[in-house]
Structure 1
Amino acid sequence: MSLLLHAFFIILAIFFFVRWIEPPPEAVQFVPGGGGGGGNEGSQVAHRIQQRVHQQVTSPQFNKRISSTSTTASFSLPDTTAELPELSSPMEAGAASAGSGTGAGGGHGAGIGTGTGSGTGPGSGPGYGRGFIATNPFGGAGGDGLVGTFYDFKRDSKGKPTEVKAYNRPVFTEIVRGFTKSSRWAPPRKFKHFTSQTRLVAKTFAFKGIPDVEAGKAFQCPEAGAGSWIAHYSDDVKVTEAGTYRMVGWGDNCLVVGIDGKVVLDASDVGYTGEGRASLGAINVPGKPAASLFHGEWFTLRAQDSVRLDIIVGDEGGIFSATAMLEKKGATYARGPGGIPQLPVLTVADLAPTEVALYPFIRPEHLQRTVFQAGKQSLGLGKDWRID
């Protein structure tokens, strides 16, 4: 009986010992698909990106060649030779066009965390990462160009909410018209607004379809969010070639161009200013299919004159897209299918190759400086800025 009792206690002790030293099961951790970036912050970034993808407005597939659907239009967008992927949303379009950039990975991979990786995942390449000065279609820190200021009408100067909301067309129409009433375009005093401390210098004005929240991020004002914002670019420019011209373009929702305080083109999809314009049909733009085209009235410029050039872009909310082009009366343009002439994008300074690369949907020769020459600007961006 004593031997049996001792044997029982020995077996019981062995059983509990084995259970005690058995290693606990490993916890399965999520690793971001872009490589680089360890820890919780990298996972949170990946989760935010997944949320953004689900929140994007899915656009139909667009054509690889940008062309007018109107058989009577007197111009076309610059013909694209670059092969554009078949994409179904603006988020995908941005990722597909990303090149090799400084990245924002955590660790040493090619990812999207918070360290010093190098890669081409979301947030790398042509985006608004740490090197966004050279890769921002809304402008850079200085150089030749027009000075842009960002206004958010949903908040006042202290950042508190105003009565203005996104997707309010009557109010947004009143805001745009208020900008253009005076010879020196400025925000209408009737509406309180928040002005971003960051200003940007832009050489050209061409935006494919992107979520309109990117505008606030580009001006280091991500709190602006969607809708009811305006970016106003303005400066005196020198006329380098005399002639009679007219502006051509599209805006979703807003693109208005002025010379010496006078509106020469309202290409906004709803015609906010009420100024005269003519429709030229519709075109397909990456991220913005069936964009409505308009042209303004002819105007005459004299060589060496100095004129005030104003451009405002903005959005009610959702997808933003806009491009301004310049047509010279009597000039000969290359013609595409159906005899449609191909026009240059409004460009006020020479673009570097890295800047030209921001516009893969436009032929490089159509991004050369037009008849306007802007002066050199020097602006401070303040703190370093990065968005995930």
Structure 2
Amino acid sequence: MSQQVSAGASPWRDQVNGMLFVGLLAAAVVQVAAFPFVKSLGLSPLVVGIVCGMLYGNFLRGTMPAGWGVGVHWTARRLLRIAVGFYGLNISIQQIAEIGAPGLIISTGVVLSVLFIGTWIGTKVLKLDRDTAMLTASGSAICGAAAVLAFESTLKAPPHKSAVAVATVVLFGTISMFVYPLAFQLGWIDLDTRSFGMFLGGTVHEVAQVVGSASNIDAATTEVATIVKMTRVALLVPLLILLGLWLQRSASAKLAPGQTKPKLPIPWFAIFFLIFALINSANIIPPDVLKTMRALDVFALTMAMTALGIETRFAQMRQAGPRVLALAFILFLILAFGGYTLVKFVA
């Protein structure tokens, strides 16, 4: 197909066509993510989506009419915010209460320390730009690709920076998923199964990777690990609100005398995330309906990640160089050793 927009094509039609195209590509991604080998690697449809999107965007972009880029961009930005809001349906207050104070302390300690230390090391030591450092740190600290997407929306960062951050989640999250259970079974990690579940939930990057690693132990460990992980996800809301306040303050400090103070960039999708978490906690949605809504939300997030990948260029990613990998490796060590110490102390 030609890259030129056909005569008479309307922007609205181009947007719809672009969204439908991403939807079809995302449907194929979901099928690929369901392959046993891909599932064994703990790669969620979100991660597979950005990889497939990047391959298409860099090698086959010429097969898509240029006008459809409007729909691709809408999916990567607007649909992303909607999907992150609905992601709150995966969390409930009952889950957080079930793990008690130790699980909450571990989740909070890991998220805050990794996010702030990672941002500081990235900007001050490795001389990365603020957005790249913060996106990489958020992916390690909170919930992998979903956190990177949420922070990207608030920071309004370019797609290639998010893609680089997601790549580090894939690499070090996969390493964690295989190394931690093996080390535990060899007796190198001195924890009981419940404490080890807290360790996995508090240190492994992606939700799918947490489930994949914990399932190598037993069902009880998997349950504890998943709850601790979802508690980390729940911390996404207050952190995004604080990030919005910080961005407003930073922008205000750079204003010349007489300039209007910028509005607070409220992450409304984070507010809806909290609202849907409370709805899920109330148990008012029938189980079958809830299961369907969660599946649709995963598909919407997969569409957003696929669109993000289509907009990403390898040349832009190469500009980050080895410094992003260095930051992700440092955060991997902080998660491993700091997380173990924290679990030993509070669990």
Q: Specify which structure has the higher proportion of strand.
A: 1
Please, what TM-score do these two structures have when normalized by structure 1? 0.23
Q: Specify which structure has the higher proportion of helix.
A: 2
Q: Rg larger in 1 or in 2?
A: 1
Please, what TM-score do these two structures have when normalized by structure 2? 0.25
